[in-house]
Structure 1
Amino acid sequence: MTVDVEDYFHVSAFEKQFSRDDWDKIPHRVEKNTYRLLDLFDENNCKSTFFILGVVGEKYPQLLKDIHNRGHEVASHGYAHRRATTQTREIFKADVERSKKHIEDTIGASVLGYRAPSFSIDESNEWAFEVLTELGFLYSSSTYPVKHDLYGTPHWPRFKYQRSEGITEIPVPTLKLAGKQLPIGGGGYFRLYPTFLAHALVDKYHEKEQKPYSFYFHPWEIDPKQPRVEDAPFKSKFRHYLNLDKMESRLATLLKRYHWSTMKDVYQIK
């Protein structure tokens, strides 16, 4: 189980509507939503990996401590939610290093994992894996082997593998059916699929692949009362707001249906 800890106005789909210079002026909802998730996880005996956005971690250091103290893994989602494909190597390194150092200083433990915003490591910036290795990360979960208009590495490996740069990459799960790779790793797709279909796809994945499965989502996805961004493109609004009012109950059902733990434990990262 993984959670990308960011607020609704941090998402890439709304980057033209919210300037980073204004982020501090916007009422934040991520802290409350993340504590709700922690309680939900406790209720269902679930351990998770929380990929923390640096700007969130700096604003809410106690939240990081509480996530760690409640037995979850704290990992990095970078600092300012800039897609890695838009950064130079030097800017990327500074962004990720700032996030990693703050998390480690706050919780007093090493950060092993990283996830790029919007799964933004691909053929154009494979140097990012070299940077992550230099910074001491042991694994990344930054690729999604599907075709998508905002991200995707459909021809890259679908399962955990060791990169030549020295880091382990754990792609978001896909299910290969009729020659196509279906996205089944969570997020907006989980809200789009009917619950029975989402469960059936995960069951099929386990039956067919005999591999660990990982799920991702964001705290804002259990927050149907979040402010609406009316001037965003229709596609972005559809993806973002679809079935938010159903997400928490669907998530609770998912937590009860399977056994969940952290990335480092499930994928045996050492």
Structure 2
Amino acid sequence: MKMTAPAARPRPAPGEKIRNAMTCDVEDYFQVSAFAPYIDRDSWPTRECRVEANMERILALYEREGVRATFFTLGWIAERYPAMVRRIVEAGHELASHGYGHLRASDQSRAEFDNDIRSAKALLEDIGGQAVVGYRAPSFSIGHGNLWALDALHEAGYKYSSSIYPIAHDHYGMPDAPRFAFYPNGPDGILEVPITTVKMAGRHLPAGGGGYFRLLPYALSRWMMEKVNREDGESALFYFHPWEIDTDQPRPDGLGAKAKFRHYVNIDRMERRLEQLARDFKWDRMDRIFLDKP
């Protein structure tokens, strides 16, 4: 990779907070990668979908708190809930792509991946009525073994990706990747914006949401994001999923202990934590922060 840092973004005025990027991966509880060994993909259409109701709560929360966010949305979901997709756009949020059917990029051939990202982009643009320029791979599944995916995204018309997580994890991660936004193939290619980490004891520690946000005390997560704003002078990038606020979601049979713990830990606290997070930081869309889009 010919990694290149983007041009420095303007610093906020004295006393003004740095804008951080709020993002949500719009998928339902039965589509998460950790459940793949337990839930057959063919059963998806027959399962109770809860994403629309959860999204209504999230959009209402953001409206109350004045948050604008980026929603990385599955084509599979958008196809079934087009009115929800239009509500995202009408509320002033950015619509971005999470692929069509939540297939990991690392499990697809170049041709399969190309078809997935192009079909999802076209579908979202048709429903949402706005250009889709951002992409996030399911389970952050772009890494050393499939960096060709970044070229495919650029060729398909995407301007940025948020698909490389610079941590060590049993399901994903590229711990030697840069911590902040960079051009993997030079400034003429796509911009990659990693999920936020903090550097401690020579390691990159996750600080940008997901299960870690539910597991760790809220004060610690807030401190890590504040540290990135204060010491690195960078925008933090936070992510979560609609099912993480849903305590009443169906619980599939036969889940392994690890999958069960990761999925359900502290989901009863998640919505309250999101409300506090919305108040403690200044938030905006990915495109406005990283692409300088007005």
- TM-score bracket, normalised by the shorter chain, equals over 0.9
Which letter does structure 1 place at the counterpart of 2:126? D
Measure the CA separation in 2 of the matches of 1:2 and 1:17: 27
- For the pair 1:164 / 2:185, whether they are aligned, the reply is yes
- For the pair 1:61 / 2:103, whether they are aligned, the reply is no
Measure the CA separation in 2 of the matches of 1:229 and 1:257: 35
- For the pair 1:252 / 2:280, whether they are aligned, the reply is no
- After superposition, the CA RMSD in angstroms is 1.0
> Structure 1 residue runs of 4+, over 3 Å off?
none
Match of 1:212 in 2: 235
Instruction: Report if aligned partners of 2:182, 2:193 keep a CA contact under 8 Å in 1.
Output: yes
SS at match of 1:161: coil
Instruction: Report if aligned partners of 1:129, 1:167 keep a CA contact under 8 Å in 2.
Output: yes
**TM-score (norm: length of structure 2):** 0.90
Give the Å deviation of 1:229.
Answer: 2.3
Structure 2 residue runs of 5 or longer lacking an equivalent are 1-21
Give the Å deviation of 1:93.
Answer: 0.8
**TM-score (norm: length of structure 1):** 0.98
Match of 1:78 in 2: 99
Measure the CA separation in 1 of the matches of 2:69 and 2:87: 13
Q: 1:243 aligns with which of 263, 266, 277?
A: 266
Q: Output one character per residue of 1:3-42: Cα deviation in whole Å (capped at 9) or x when no partner.
A: 0000000000001221121101001000110111000000
Instruction: Report if aligned partners of 1:5, 1:219 keep a CA contact under 8 Å in 2.
Output: yes
SS at match of 1:4: strand
- For the pair 1:175 / 2:198, whether they are aligned, the reply is yes
Give the Å deviation of 1:94.
Answer: 0.8
Relative contact order higher in (CA < 8 Å, ≥ 6 apart)? 2
Structure 1 residue runs of 5 or longer lacking an equivalent are none
Which letter does structure 1 place at the counterpart of 2:229? H
Number of residue pairs matched? 270
Structure 1 pair 142–269 and aligned structure 2 pair: CA distance change class (3 A): farther
Q: % of aligned pairs identical?
A: 48
Q: Output one character per residue of 1:185-206: Cα deviation in whole Å (capped at 9) or x when no partner.
A: 1010000111111111111121
Q: 1:194 aligns with which of 214, 217, 224?
A: 217
Measure the CA separation in 2 of the matches of 1:208 and 1:269: 22
Measure the CA separation in 2 of the matches of 1:200 and 1:211: 14
Measure the CA separation in 2 of the matches of 1:104 and 1:181: 35
Measure the CA separation in 2 of the matches of 1:2 and 1:230: 30
Which letter does structure 1 place at the counterpart of 2:48? P
Match of 1:125 in 2: 146
Match of 2:287 in 1: 264
Measure the CA separation in 1 of the matches of 2:42 and 2:216: 36
